[in-house]
Amino acid sequence: FIKSALCREEYDRIMECKTAKEIWETLQTHHEGTNSVKETRIDIGVRKFELFEMKEEETIDQMYGRFTSIINELNSLGKAYTTHERIRKILRCLPKTWRPIVTAITVAKDLTKVSLEDLIGSLKAHESVLQEDKPKKKMIDLETQSGECSQKDETLCENEESLQEDDEEELAFLSRRIQRLMTRRNQLKKNFQPKRNGAKPEVDLSKIQCYGCNQFGHYKNDCPKNKQKKPLFKKKSMMATWDDLEEAQSE
């Protein structure tokens, strides 16, 4: 009877088995593995159960489908969770946006007496409310963003105006500095400009030092000592010329 209920692939596995016990152990080992393999699979399933969480964009039906898959896998390995444990796990796996409904269910109902069907029904009802509120929330977010943008624009405008004022002040300051520099330059130019009509600028001789006698008050060309040396030089040159003439006449 057992062999007739199996498919061709399963039948090939137990074809050589003679007793029902051998058939069962062969199929159990193939699908569940040995005891060590079974324990490893149970550990993996338990970890999936403990870390299970609902995704942000996931619906209640999608979440419950994944959750049921894990529970069924553990049941096939001999690891079962009570209804109370499943309910508490589902409430813990919901996102932060579901905290109000989780608190309401926990306070209003006795979780030991709630069925999974009632819990899923309450969560789906709350899900429909959240879906209706999404467009309103989007509008509020857009208005908030537009308000923030307008505030940022105003702030940028104020900053640009303040920067423009600062630039104008700097330009005015530079202009004043340039005017003062030009005024000083013109004054210095006037002070050092020679007098017109061929007149030489007056020189303070008290600050002039002679390179001949190292005295102040005259140039080297006007040095009195040079004037005293010139007659002596002229006298010697005249005497030399006279001697030359006498020698020429005697010859």
Overall number of domains in the chain? 2
Domain that holds residue 235: 205-241
Same structural domain, 120 and 225: no
CA of 159: how far to CAs of 150, 152, 154, 168, in Å? Answer: 14, 10, 9, 14
Output 228 or 222, whichever has higher pLDDT: 222
Per DSSP, 53 falls in state -
For residue 73, name the pLDDT band (cuts at 50, 70, 90). very high
Same structural domain, 107 and 220: no
- φ/ψ of 219, rounded to 5, equals -85, 170
Residue 84 lies in a domain: yes
Q: Cβ distance 46 to 79 under 8 Å?
A: yes
Give the pLDDT confidence score for residue 157 in this predicted structure: 64
Same structural domain, 118 and 215: no
Q: Cβ distance 70 to 33 under 8 Å?
A: no
Residue 168 lies in a domain: no
Q: Which residues contact 223 (CB under 8 A, 6 or more apart)?
A: 210, 212, 213, 215
Residue 172 lies in a domain: no
Residue 159 lies in a domain: no
Residue 156 lies in a domain: no
Residue 138 lies in a domain: no
Amino acid identity of residue 108, one-letter, is A
Same structural domain, 31 and 117: yes
Q: Which of 133, 153, 183 is the last residue of a domain?
A: 133
Q: Alpha-carbon distance 28 to 76, whole Å?
A: 11
pLDDT tens digits for range 129-147:
888 876 655 555 555 666 6
Q: Which of 89, 118, 133 is the last residue of a domain?
A: 133
Enter the tokens of residue 57. 């964009």
Q: Which of 89, 110, 133 is the last residue of a domain?
A: 133
